[in-house]
A and B are shown apart, each in its own frame.
Chain A
């Protein structure tokens, strides 16, 4: 006790009562730092556990057959999930075909043409609200709008659900990207007599393009991992899709379906599909960040 106290004299006074308080304060400080660090490092546990399990249970079945063959029937072994991978890609493509033009053109309108207009404010509000609605609601909407109308689950329905999911991400990041373009560029172009359209097409968009692509990639990563919007819009299929207007398999729904069956082979396949999905999402995320950091 004594030695600690004498080592922490109040700087001018050397007052013992003050200094023992100082020691207590320093000790409390250390303890709190320790607690904070421990709690933070605790986060590593679930992530490490997920990654280890993905590799341990997902790697054994990983092979070329996974990408080329159809899912095995209940209780059977072998097979793959080529149709699910294709289905996921096709539905992302449909989603992008709707959401990318809608999102980017809207962003151009609200940032370049009429930033303060009523319509622009409404677009911003809607984008914010869409960001907040649960992904399953996108599925409910596509079910009502497409499945109930056409009478069949389909890639169209799944794609529309994903489009709603992706739209706000693409729109808001595109708006940010356009805001990041220096207004001096615009003024220079307009000052040279360029029209609005020429300014946007030749000066603004080329500069903002990488950041816009970042948003698109982020939206793709998110859509690839989503199950809820597809589960009752695209449903699932054991077969290769012959058209876009029939039930379509996807990776995420396959994982959901296979994870709750009592057959070890199917469960193993769910893990392999998870591994493939996480790898895809991670690559898309890294791509998004690389595009972004290359710009800066």
Chain B
């Protein structure tokens, strides 16, 4: 009597088959993790000769003369940071305004929907198309603005002449448009996750719309908006093609935002194709620095975002 019962539960000689699919999935996971290691290893290995030769000086010197084997990326680090910060400065007010526009009901829902679509379209346009558009539209505008600015504010170092079309400002204007969707989307999420009850609380006390926005809604969403800004900064720093096409790719340091400048990503885009010997190693080194900078910025942004989500979970 008991034998057949036992058979149903664990038939004689039964061994659960190894789940091959599980092993396959586990292998894929392992490969994904190893991918990052592989990336770092390949770049580090190729950069090694340059790291050994130049060490830390690579980041603090500003000569980039391939035929004399002198390499220093200070101007490109500064250019990366400066162009991104200027882009953020331009994009932040716009991005937050659009995020507020999208989360408030100034205009009908269909207009808001259209606006959302516009912002998504901006995100979908390839970087190289922004570059092409910038050459034809933004360069002439910035050049005209630059000539005027040099004339009226030229004593101020940021606007000292001569004004160029391919300049830090040109690149930053286009970068600002390119990172607008990032800033808008994350800020909008932050605003949308402000509990409805807080909004109602502010209105019930007699706030006008903007009193509610400034005193309750924005402060509550502030960490999320900060995260949006940091992540936008990270995107701007890694952005390559549009910047390479517009910034002028100069390694000369200048205070003026109307002068050509250069970024790490732009340097890589311009020189890798024809690089030889130590130049390749130095470009790899520059790539490592770019990875380092963007990684720090992105991790910071993610950390703020995660903290924010925890905090709003607390308010709810």
A residues near B, CB below 8 A? 25-26, 28-29, 32-33, 35-37, 39-40, 42-44, 46-47, 49-50, 53-54, 101-103, 105-106, 108-110, 112-114, 119-120, 122-123, 126-130, 132-137, 139-141, 143-145, 148, 164, 167, 171, 195-197, 200-201, 221, 224-228, 231-232, 235, 252, 255-256, 259-260, 270-271, 274, 277-278, 281-282, 285
Establish whether residues A126 and B43, one from each chain, have CB atoms under 8 Å apart when the complex forms: no
Establish whether residues A106 and B131, one from each chain, have CB atoms under 8 Å apart when the complex forms: no
Q: How far is the CB of B59 from chain A (nearest CB, A)?
A: 17
B25-45 contact mask (Cβ, 8 Å, vs A): 1 or 0: 111111111011011001101
Query: B247 interface residue, CB < 8 Å from A?
Result: no
Contact among A42, A195, A270 with B19 in the assembled complex (CB-CB below 8 Å): A195
Using Cβ atoms and an 8 Å threshold, which residues of chain B touch A167?
A: 32, 35
Complex CA distance for A271 and B137, rounded to whole angstroms: 13
* Residues 253-276 of B contacting A (Cβ, < 8 Å): 265, 268-269, 272-273
Query: B54 interface residue, CB < 8 Å from A?
Result: no
Describe A's contact surface by its main secondary structure: helix
Establish whether residues B101 and A126, one from each chain, have CB atoms under 8 Å apart when the complex forms: no
Contact among A28, A103, A256 with B245 in the assembled complex (CB-CB below 8 Å): A256
Query: B65 interface residue, CB < 8 Å from A?
Result: no
Q: How far is the CB of A225 from chain B (nearest CB, A)?
A: 3
Q: How far is the CB of B103 from chain A (nearest CB, A)?
A: 11
Establish whether residues B209 and A29, one from each chain, have CB atoms under 8 Å apart when the complex forms: yes
Complex CA distance for A225 and B273, rounded to whole angstroms: 19
Using Cβ atoms and an 8 Å threshold, which residues of chain A touch B124?
A: 221, 225, 278, 281-282, 285
Query: B239 interface residue, CB < 8 Å from A?
Result: yes
Establish whether residues B32 and A40, one from each chain, have CB atoms under 8 Å apart when the complex forms: no
Name A218's closest neighbour in chain B (CB-CB). B124
Establish whether residues B25 and A140, one from each chain, have CB atoms under 8 Å apart when the complex forms: no
Complex CA distance for A129 and B40, rounded to whole angstroms: 12
Contact among A33, A148, A259 with B132 in the assembled complex (CB-CB below 8 Å): A259
Q: How far is the CB of A250 from chain B (nearest CB, A)?
A: 10
